[in-house]
Structure 1
Amino acid sequence: MRRGLLLAFALALGGLAAPVAAQEGQLAAMLDDFHERYGFPGATAAIALPDGTVMSAAIGLADVEAGRAITTETPMLAASIGKSFVAATVLALEREARLSRDDLLSVHLGDRPWFDALPNAGTITIDHLLHHTSGLPDHVHLPEFQQGWTRLTAAEGDFDPERLMAFVAGREPLFEAGQAWAYSDTGYVLLGLVIADVTGQAWHEAVRTRLLGPLDLDGTFPSDRPDLPGLAVGYVDADNPFGLPARTADAEGRLLWNPAVESAGGGFASTSADLARWGHLLFGGDAMEGPYLDRLLDGVPVDPEAPGILYGAGVAIYADTPRGPVWGHGGWIPAYVSSLRHYADHGVTVAFQINTDIGIADDSSDLVPALEAALAELAIEAVR
């Protein structure tokens, strides 16, 4: 029986179906208002309540040209929210005694031919990679990577993430490992290689067997090829740095580039409902066996001038906001924007996905922070 049917049955038994239906109606109305105000093609949003109930809504089109409506089950690329799955898998492997956060990276990958050319190669630990304190540059934002995007993403099938190391090999480190903070997708690609090394599985298969499968997150799957079932078509500004056309998929909805290039820097397609459920389980301490929240939320400062903003193991931590502590992650990849936030004092989790990055990638729109705030208000009000 599908999780949604079980939920509906449980709500009916508890006499809560009417209030939840009313709250879901408010969520749909709010999303409709944002659609009218901002004019994006389509979006989905979801709220997970403290008891695990997940409400979701959708608005707009998954394919503008074909007129295909978006639904709450329409997946989109979740981009860097995938780092939360990767980091949680590393913590699970530590519990299994397959690795330690204190391990030097060289213990696992030191035999690779490119390893010694990595910045800080001899001093980086697993923990540095988890927290973005390795001093590694971020290959995604290097001009050489963006200029080589078409070549890198043209091939179908398996993509070897070790190819990405060439973009940072031989460069000076941004700082000594552990001495500062700088976001690095490269570091998480390396974590994916470590996961594969210690498990003997593809990194996303290790995530599936430890998290996605046991938690019944059946709306979340690897974005490892251009043909992803049911994916919403994404739209970008015609003047984007990757040289992509405004519509980033063909007439059948098949991506015009291979998303496998993202590797463990993200690496999953998902739905807002699945992301909200994932956040509820992860931040509630129920995503895996044994205690792990202390390791997950052991944050390091992102900026000395913003002491309330920290980064844990694949999680952004806003320690002091008007709504209390907020934990989560954002995601951006060409044509797709996602957000996942958990409001710890209230026990609610919110998520949304949008199938365009126009006005968002260049920070010319306030859509993302405005939608995050509106969802938070709605979610918190639902549990008062």
Structure 2
Amino acid sequence: MMRHDVRAACVAVGFAAGSILGTAALAESAELQDLLSKFQESYGFPGATAAIALPDGEIVTAATGLADVEANRPMAPDTPMLAASIGKSFVAATVLSLESEGVVSRADLVSDHLGGFDWFARLPNHATMTVGDLLRHGAGLPDHVHLESFQIEMAGRMGSGAAAFTPEEAIAFILDADPLFEAGAGWAYTDTGYLLLGLVIEAASGRSYYDLVSERFLDPLGLADTRPSNIRMLDGLAAGYVAEDNPFGLPPRTMDAQGTLLWDPAMEWTGGGLVSTSSDLSAWGQALFTGRAMDVPYLDRLLDSVSVSPDAPDILYGAGVAIYSQTSRGPVYGHGGWIPGYVSSLRHYADHGVTVAFQINTDVGIADDSTDLVPALEAALADLAVAMAGADGSEE
């Protein structure tokens, strides 16, 4: 079995720069390392990283397996991967930050900001959807990513090495489509809606989204390993692996031998649009869901949510956050992420004050739900994180 270099794996860091590891921290890191390695051996994925942010500010990290199978490069705790839709939490936070300044409101009609685009009137529910509807996936918009027409054209672009879809090109796949429901009357996950949010952010602020998210969150919170995934060569990126029959026509290894992605991740933009590490993601979740990501109150707006289904009344969606309101561990806030070759998870256990993140450099068996890897790993990491918080005496 592939095993990770222990020297790189057993690492724990705090929020503050220069924190020194004690005996307890080393033991916690060893526990996390052991859990992650057992999952790698059982499920056979190439590699993974995980991080647990504890209430006292400590972040425990570990890694297992390989970041690059062909090159035999070990996965390290600071190996970056594409964070995919976890990036939506940064997009939503940026909207809430701008709302605090009076630049935009969740109650605004999207047409107030984007009505000048010549294609806007061809969007489903163009006259009635609000910014808040987009934040909560309640605008009744289809998701271009899962349309066959998009997948066929994306496969063609990948094969020819063409540039990424621009936001407007991606949005064009749903123009003239029927709405899934009236705006505000239901829930349907849509990356297309978050591309529209990106355009709203830039139209309302007159600034680049990536500049705003860096200035407001990445830099102030010290998320130095989180950056835009808008180029094909991303330093240190783990190689991603997909199934041979994936819908985008990608080869099983999604980057070349030099580390350049075979597809342009810039197409994701505000649908996700970030490369990150499990450590940074856990630090972000800990700050965001404990109310420390901004200087102004925002948690009530972040958690203002709608039900995702009448059959699952305890599962809600707020502003870029999935909410599991009643679990055996209390309320859980977070987001998942999938993009060809990479899977990520971010979960905050509010009653225990801990945040857990992990990243895996394959989507084989995960994209088609043929394995229980993700929920099983989430559950095991939650148990470990809660135990760590209790052992540290930091649980309320």
Partner of 1:244: 250
CA distance in 1 between counterparts of 2:215 and 2:156 reads 32
Aligned residues: 378
Are 1:191 and 1:264, in contact at CA under 8 Å, matched by a contact in 2? yes
Identify which of 91, 108, 117 aligns with 1:103: 108
Are 1:119 and 1:171, in contact at CA under 8 Å, matched by a contact in 2? yes
2:289 pairs with 1:283: yes
2:359 pairs with 1:353: yes
Which amino acid letter does the alignment assign opposite residue 318 of structure 1? Answer: Y
Give CA deviations for 1:272-318 in whole Å, capped at 9, x if unaligned.
Answer: 00000000000010001110000001111011111100000000000
2:175 pairs with 1:149: no
2:195 pairs with 1:189: yes
2:348 pairs with 1:342: yes
Partner of 1:222: 228
Are 2:43 and 2:373, in contact at CA under 8 Å, matched by a contact in 1? yes
What does 1:1-384 align with in structure 2 at a 5 Å threshold?
Answer: 4=13, 7=16, 10-11=19-20, 17-152=22-157, 160-384=166-390
Q: CA deviation at 1:155?
A: 5.6
TM-score, normalised with respect to structure 1: 0.96
Q: CA deviation at 1:198?
A: 1.8
Partner of 2:3: none
CA distance in 2 between counterparts of 1:293 and 1:379 reads 23
- 1:64–1:376 Cα change, 3 Å: same
Are 2:15 and 2:283, in contact at CA under 8 Å, matched by a contact in 1? no
Percent of aligned pairs with the same amino acid: 61
| SS state at 1:257 partner | coil
CA distance in 2 between counterparts of 1:150 and 1:178 reads 33
CA distance in 2 between counterparts of 1:68 and 1:383 reads 33
CA distance in 2 between counterparts of 1:290 and 1:8 reads 25
| SS state at 2:222 partner | coil
Q: CA deviation at 1:261?
A: 0.9
Q: CA deviation at 1:160?
A: 2.2
CA distance in 2 between counterparts of 1:115 and 1:8 reads 47
| SS state at 2:268 partner | helix
CA distance in 2 between counterparts of 1:23 and 1:199 reads 44
Give CA deviations for 1:9-38 in whole Å, capped at 9, x if unaligned.
Answer: 5456xxxx1111101100000011001101
- 1:170–1:6 Cα change, 3 Å: closer
Which amino acid letter does the alignment assign opposite residue 269 of structure 1? Answer: V
Q: Which runs of 5+ in 1 are unaligned?
A: none
| SS state at 1:358 partner | coil
CA distance in 2 between counterparts of 1:6 and 1:144 reads 45
| SS state at 1:383 partner | helix
Which amino acid letter does the alignment assign opposite residue 378 of structure 2? Answer: E
Q: CA deviation at 1:157?
A: 6.6
Q: CA deviation at 1:199?
A: 2.1
- 1:6–1:279 Cα change, 3 Å: closer
Are 2:164 and 2:264, in contact at CA under 8 Å, matched by a contact in 1? no
Q: Which runs of 5+ in 2 are unaligned?
A: 1-11, 391-396
RMSD: 1.5
TM-score, normalised with respect to structure 2: 0.93
Q: CA deviation at 1:151?
A: 4.0
Q: CA deviation at 1:65?
A: 0.4
Which amino acid letter does the alignment assign opposite residue 61 of structure 1? Answer: L
Are 1:235 and 1:357, in contact at CA under 8 Å, matched by a contact in 2? yes
Which amino acid letter does the alignment assign opposite residue 287 of structure 1? Answer: A
Give CA deviations for 1:102-121 in whole Å, capped at 9, x if unaligned.
Answer: 00001111011110000000
Are 2:13 and 2:60, in contact at CA under 8 Å, matched by a contact in 1? no
Are 2:80 and 2:236, in contact at CA under 8 Å, matched by a contact in 1? yes
CA distance in 2 between counterparts of 1:183 and 1:156 reads 27
Are 1:311 and 1:317, in contact at CA under 8 Å, matched by a contact in 2? yes
